[in-house]
């Protein structure tokens, strides 16, 4: 399945079960855990999921991918920042550009909506293609260490701020 056959749209309540399945399957296959599905549910229940950026990838009526964002704080204050987590693609269709399509679409929307920067924990070899670079080099620290997988990127004409980033409460539990 190629990304050309995919529609990206906002998630809807009738998608939630399929989203749980996709997120669980993707993270079980990659990392041996399904805790990311509970994270998405918790963010949604607490109102911490940025609804305009909670997107699904759909092919022939089937949900095959999902991306989620939550607002992050900088030194304890809102600063127009987002945490990208998680992005998930059904294991049987991975490698066809669906994850890239979700990320690219969501970043474009985030910029249009006025968000200033995005942080994430991810594969240091994957996310640079979307403009992400190690966050520590830009002066952004976080609760998850200063390794190459801790990444950030500005949106639009914004510059990356410096300071300590903290994810929403769903990540703290």
Q: Dump pLDDT digits (tens) for 33-80.
A: 778 999 999 999 999 999 999 999 999 999 999 999 999 999 999 999
Tokens matching residue 133: 């670079």
Q: What does the pLDDT look like over 28-42, one tens digit per residue?
A: 877 777 789 999 999
User: Looking at the domain that runs over 3-171, which CATH code has it been given?
Assistant: 3.40.630.30
pLDDT tens-digit map of 71-110: 999 999 999 999 999 999 999 999 999 999 999 999 999 9
pLDDT value of residue 144? 81
Q: Domain ranges in the chain?
A: 3-171
92's tokens: 């049987």
* This prediction's pTM: 0.94
DSSP string computed for 20-58: HHHHHHHHHHHHS--HHHHHHHHHHHHT-B-GGG-EEEE
CA distance to 9, 26, 108, 120, per residue, from 143 (Å):
31, 24, 27, 12
């Amino acid at each position: 399945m190629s990304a050309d056959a995919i529609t990206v749209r906002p998630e809807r309540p009738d998608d939630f079960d399929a989203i749980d399945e996709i997120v669980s399957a993707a993270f079980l296959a990659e990392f041996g855990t399904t805790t990311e599905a509970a994270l998405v549910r918790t963010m949604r229940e607490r109102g911490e999921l940025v609804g305009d950026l909670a997107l699904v990838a759909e092919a022939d009526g089937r949900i095959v991918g999902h991306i989620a964002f939550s607002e992050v704080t900088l030194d304890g204050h809102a600063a127009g920042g987002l945490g990208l987590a998680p992005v998930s693609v059904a294991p049987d269709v991975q490698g066809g550009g669906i994850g890239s399509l979700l990320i690219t679409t969501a970043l474009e929307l985030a910029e249009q909506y006025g968000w200033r920067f995005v942080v994430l924990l991810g594969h240091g070899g994957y996310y640079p293609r979307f403009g992400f670079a190690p966050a520590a080099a830009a002066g952004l620290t976080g609760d998850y260490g200063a390794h190459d997988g801790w990444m950030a990127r500005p949106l639009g004409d914004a510059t990356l701020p410096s300071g300590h980033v903290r994810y929403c409460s769903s990540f703290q539990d």
